[in-house]
Structure formats: C-alpha cells, structure tokens
Amino acid sequence: MTKQTLSFQAEVAQLLHLVTHSLYSNKEIFLRELISNASDACDKLRFEAINDGGLYENDAELKVKVTFDQDAKTLTITDNGIGMSTQEAIDHLGTIAKSGTKDFVSKLSGDQKADSQLIGQFGVGFYSGFIVADKITVESRRAGMKAEEGVRWISGGAGDFEVENITRPARGTSVILHLRDDAMDYASAWKVKGIINKYSDHISLPICMEKEEWKDGELINPSDEQGGRQPGGMVKTGEWETVNKANAIWARAKKDITADEYAEFYKQISHDFEAPLAYTHNRVEGSTEYTQLLYIPGKAPFDLYNREKSAGVKLYVKRVFIMDDAEALLPTYLRFVKGVVDSSDLPLNVSRELLQESRDVKAIREGCTKRVLGMLEDLAKHDKLPEATISAEGVTDVVTEEEKTEAATNAGKFTKFYNEFGAVLKEGLGEDYANKDRIAKLLRFASSTTDTLSVSFADYKARMKEGQEAIYFITADNAAAAKNSPQLEVFKKKGIEVLLMTDRVDEWALNYLQDFDGTPLQSVAKGAVDLGKLQDETEKKAAEEAAETFKPLLAKLKEALKDKAEDVRVTTRLVDSPACLVVQDDGMSTQLARMLKQAGQAAPDVKPVLEVNAEHPLVKMLDGSVHFNDLAHILFDQALLAEGGLPADPAAYVKRVNALLL
C-alpha cells in the first residue's frame, strides 16, 4: 500500500482539540495511558497465544520498553504485544467506538486534573500523547503477519493522519512522541522513571529503560590535564534495566504492600484519580483456589446505570490475563466494583460460555459477593464516630483509642458510597435472594423526619411508636413530591415516621422485600389506611359513620369517574387535602406504571382508587352542586397532580378550572 492520507472521525477531531487545549495541567498522565495500552497489547497476545503458540515468534518474554532521544526530541514506548495490521491501525487510531467522545465531553467539569482522568475511562488514552507531542508516529506489525506487512501511522493531531506499509521485523507496536519544546523534560531518565514508579509500578510486565552512567567531559586540550574539560553528562550504557516492580500486586503478601501501593494499583485499573473507599485482598483456599483484590470506588462512573456495561473485574488464570470484563465474577448490582480475580483452577482457554456454567466460577462469584458485602458492612459500622455509652445497669461502654482511630479513618465513607451507589445496590433485592437480608440492612432512606439518606430499616424499627405494626413508606418521583404527598397527612398528624423512597428502582426492588426482621413493609399509597392500635375507637367510629352518610355521594362520584377510578371511598388518611389516589394492596402503583411507559415497556392501565376527605369543604360542597361533574373530575386530576402524574387530558382540566373560576 502506498502512503495515503485519511481524515479523523469527527469525534476524534473534537477530542484532539480538547486534549491539546484543555488537559494540560496534569501532563504526565499521557505516559500512564500509553504504558497501560502497551501492557494490554501484551495481555492480548498472551491470551491469543493460548490457542496459537506460534504468535510468540520465538520471543515469549513480553515487556514494554521506554526510550528517549534528546537530540531528536522524541520519547518512544515500545511493546512486543499483539500489534496491529494496517486496517486495525486505521480503525483503532482514527475512530472511537460509539459516542465515546460525546459522553466524554458531557462529563467534563472544568477541573483540569479531574477531566484528565476521564481519558482512560472512555478508552481514548492513546490521544493523551498529544498533550506533550505535536506529532505522533506509530509503527506496528500484528503477531503472525509477515515483516513487510508492518504499518506506519503519523498524525500532527489536526484533522487527518497518514498511513503506509513498512517492513518491521519485530511484532508489536512503537509509539513515538515528537515532543513539544515545553515538554522536553520528558526526554530525561529521572522524569520518566518517576512517572513510571508513580503510576505504573504495578504493571505485571517488565517496563525497561536503558541504564545511564555519568561520563566526565572531554579535555579541552588533551595535552593539558589542567586546561579544563567540556561539561560531563549522563550517557546510555546499552544495558537495559527494569524500572518497575514487574510482579502482580495481588500475588504479593499483604504485609509487603503499602496502602499507597494498593491505591495506585486501583487508579491504574480504574482510571480514577481518587483513592478507593475500601479494598479487600485475600487468597481463598479450599475446593476452589483463587486470589481476589477488590475495590469499592468513591465516585460513580458515567455509565453506572447501564446494566449492559462491562464489569470492572479482570480475570487472570495462574497470572495469565484472560479477560477485562468478567461479568460472571460478580452479580450485576455490584458492577461498580473494580479489581482482579486470579484463579488457580480454571483452564487457560476459558470462554465466556464456560464462565457461565463453571462450578468454580460460581464459587468465586459467591465468595467475591460476600467479601464486597462484608466491606460495605464494615463501612456502615464505622460510618459515625463512636461515643462512650452508659447502659441501663450503669456500665460504661468505653471506646478504645484503636476503635477511635479506625472510626475516624472510615467515618463518612459509607454515606459517600451510598450517595453514589445506593440506587444500584437496591437492585440486589431482586437479583440476589441469598443475600437479600444483608442488602436490606445496608439500605438508607430519607424520611418524613429527615431529608438525608441516613435512615436504615433498623433505625426506623428502633423508634417505631408503641402499637405500630408496620414499617410505612411512600414512593414518589422526587423528595418534594414524597414529603408533601397528601397520603402522609394522617401519619404526620400522629407523628408516625414514613420512609421516603424516590429512586426509580425502589418500587420494583421492594416487591422482593415484604418485611424487615419480621416487621412487614407497608406502602401508604396502597390499600385502605389501617393504623391498627394507633387509631383510637372514636376515629374508627367516625370514619364508619362518614362512609355510611356519604354512600349516595360516593355512588355519584363513582359513576362520574367510572372511566378513571376503580372505586371511590371515604378515607381517614387525609387531614388538609380533599382527595388522594391509592391502589389496591396487590396492584401496580401509578408511579411504576408511568415509569414503565416512559421507558417504552408494556405496562397495564392502572385505575386507581379515589379516596376523599369527608370533612373537607370542597367535598362537602359536591352534594347538590350544579357543577358536580366538573368538580368530580377536578378532584381526581388534582389528586393525580399531587402524586406527580398528569391528567390524561390537560386541556380539559384547564377548561374545567377556568369555568369554575369564572
């Protein structure tokens, strides 16, 4: 193929502009990204060579080499990994998989350090090279192809790139950065080594650089030792040295690994710039042997709510990389977890299909799930600073200094986790029956007495009123709609706390949780209100009398609203509002039906029950009113609006209200 010039995909051109004009405050991340890509290329070769050992081409020692040339103003990262064909170079370096850049741009915050960390998350790390280079040359040959089938790719980071065939005896890829004048400090050993030690020390492949030694300057006058010398300097010896630890962190003993090393490895595999909230590192032995190193992030990724997203756990078998997104190792509701699992029992040629069927994988999945839930339980336990307490017997529960230190280290971490990932954790109620009770204990909600997500089911139970027999909750589209719902009025009047559930997943998830620790959960928007022992006999009698007195009116309302309401009845749950909507105990809520329809899914047409407040003036004036039909429809539509819905015919609603106003 002769040299040809091709245009970048529009999204790539947009990304390159961002890289060269915005992400300059944390320049050094480019080297982390390019070394990470080189490591991935070696991992891919190792995986493909499981079935075709010839791909090694008699060079099975995989490594990454970093070199620089101050005279040529270049920095080069070379790997002997899988390499690229010409078409792969065009596809991988000239385009970005679907809407990657669009999502990338939408997440930019203006914080340059934070924005620079997004590069790796969106799979566009290669382009970070343009932070320090005004031109990048890539030379590559795919493993198994002929030497003359190599490819050279060149771009100045503008709108196009050149590509041509070359002869390249060695497989793998060299990325040659032509450094800008203001980035020449990256053409020095101390600078490059420092960055490798900081970001890439835990890459399990050797990262090699040429050794340097000091050489005195030449004599200005060789015949005169006293005549002075030219300046000396560091010169390359031709020998190579490994500048990273080059062994898998998870294979090392825990006592030999510092907290900083754990944090840096997390940042490497997650492309996060913050340290994780918690991590667990264990070697599991028994019928199934494996090592797990799992992390809980502090911030949700951009695609957290995409249940089809790649998982965050890498699978290794006997330290050989197998796959990047082994979703079979953790349930979907824990998809935010990052880390590594290294199995001693799985075959090296394991496929995704085999992962789904393997007993060993099932055991690993169960073990990893329990570890993650255990981490979350520990975070929840230490979320608040402990205080010395005095029991009823007068015994003081003393808090030790060790407990204080541990609590201070972890205080607030669970709150941070829950604010980011709580909605996803709730999915586990429906997905993981075996751990349903453990998950329920971790859930937190706002309530009618607090706006923060801080109330657990256990907290709620501990302060239930005497005689209260259920945990009451309400689901709504948002916190304001929940807190101001007419359905809460009698509960507020009696001082009964109600949990406010406003995540889209809540109603679906709670279908799988009928009770907590033996106490039933009851939606205040389902069924007739029954406060049991909390409602005195006088109230019950008054409600029965009102229902009897209003029978004729209720019949008229039911006839007028027969197309909208399943039933009309008098209620005691309302105090200030004239009406509200509820559904039968076993019915789908109107809110869930709305959400399903908005998501394009099939949902039944829910006909709610209209409950009216017999003491409200608007309800009383219905009897004998010449506007009875209009008032009936307005009452229904206002009740629908109060719970976050919209009238089926907004124009008709406005017309009725205007007619009455006039």
Domain 4-218+232-242 = CATH 2.60.40.1260: no
**Could you identify the residue written with the tokens 């420092």?**
194
Residues contacting 277, CB < 8 A, separation 6+: 296, 297, 298, 379, 413, 416, 417
CB atoms within 10 A of CB 406: 15
- Whole-angstrom distance, CA of residue 280 vs CA of residue 527: 45
Q: Tens digit of pLDDT for each residue in 31-85?
A: 988 998 898 899 889 888 988 999 999 999 999 999 999 999 999 999 999 999 9
Q: Tens digit of pLDDT for each residue in 181-209?
A: 999 999 999 899 988 887 777 788 899 99
For 97-131, give one letter per residue: b (16+ CB within 10 A) or e: eeebbeebbeeeeeeeebbbbbbbbbebbbbbbbb
Burial class (CB in 10 A: 0-12, 13-18, 19+), 268: buried
Locate 484 and state its tokens: 């101001």
Average pLDDT over all residues of the chain:
83
Q: Are 335 and 309 in contact (CB under 8 A)?
A: yes
Q: Tens digit of pLDDT for each residue in 490-511?
A: 888 888 999 999 888 888 888 8
pLDDT at 452: 87
Residues contacting 487, CB < 8 A, separation 6+: 474, 524, 525, 573, 580, 582, 643
pLDDT at 246: 74
Could you list the beta-strand ranges (E) of 191-349.
207-215, 233-242, 278-284, 290-296, 313-317, 320-323, 338-343
pLDDT at 113: 46
pLDDT at 116: 47
Percent of the chain exceeding pLDDT 70 equals 81
Whether 310 has a pLDDT exceeding 90, the answer reads no
For residues 641 and 22, the model is more confident at 641
Give the CATH number of domain 249-381. 3.30.230.80
Whether 551 has a pLDDT exceeding 60, the answer reads yes
- Whole-angstrom distance, CA of residue 174 vs CA of residue 166: 13
pLDDT at 230: 66
pLDDT at 220: 67
- Whole-angstrom distance, CA of residue 525 vs CA of residue 523: 5
Averaged pLDDT, 383-396: 58
Q: Which of 272, 269, 296 is nearest to 379 (CA)?
A: 296
Whether 427 has a pLDDT exceeding 60, the answer reads yes
- Whole-angstrom distance, CA of residue 509 vs CA of residue 427: 6
Whether 121 has a pLDDT exceeding 70, the answer reads no
CB atoms within 10 A of CB 512: 17
Locate 108 and state its tokens: 């930019």
Averaged pLDDT, 534-538: 70
pLDDT at 607: 83
pTM of the model: 0.69
Q: Tens digit of pLDDT for each residue in 213-271?
A: 877 766 666 666 565 666 666 778 889 999 988 778 898 899 989 998 899 889 878 87
For 211-244, give one letter per residue: b (16+ CB within 10 A) or e: ebeeeeeeeeeeeeeeeeeeeeeeeeeeeeeebb
Averaged pLDDT, 553-567: 89
Q: Which CATH class is domain 550-661?
A: mainly alpha
Q: Which of 544, 512, 493, 547 is nearest to 430 (CA)?
A: 512
pLDDT at 229: 64
Q: Tens digit of pLDDT for each residue in 445-476?
A: 999 988 888 899 999 999 998 888 889 999 88
Q: For residue 25, name the pLDDT band (cuts at 50, 70, 90).
A: low
Q: For residue 569, name the pLDDT band (cuts at 50, 70, 90).
A: confident
Could you list the beta-strand ranges (E) of 243-393.
278-284, 290-296, 313-317, 320-323, 338-343, 389-390
Whether 99 has a pLDDT exceeding 50, the answer reads no
Residues contacting 550, CB < 8 A, separation 6+: 570, 612, 614
Whether 410 has a pLDDT exceeding 70, the answer reads yes
Q: Tens digit of pLDDT for each residue in 103-120?
A: 555 555 555 445 444 554
Whether 356 has a pLDDT exceeding 60, the answer reads yes
pLDDT at 511: 86
CB atoms within 10 A of CB 511: 12
Q: Tens digit of pLDDT for each residue in 369-380?
A: 999 999 999 999
pLDDT at 643: 79
Spatial strand order in the sheet of 567-570: 567-570, 609-612, 579-582
Whether 9 has a pLDDT exceeding 70, the answer reads yes
Vertex 547, ends 592 and 525: CA angle to 5°? 15
- Whole-angstrom distance, CA of residue 336 vs CA of residue 338: 6
Whether 345 has a pLDDT exceeding 90, the answer reads no
- Whole-angstrom distance, CA of residue 316 vs CA of residue 590: 47
Ordered by start, the domain boundaries in the chain are 4-218+232-242, 249-381, 550-661
Q: Tens digit of pLDDT for each residue in 611-637?
A: 888 888 888 888 878 888 999 999 999
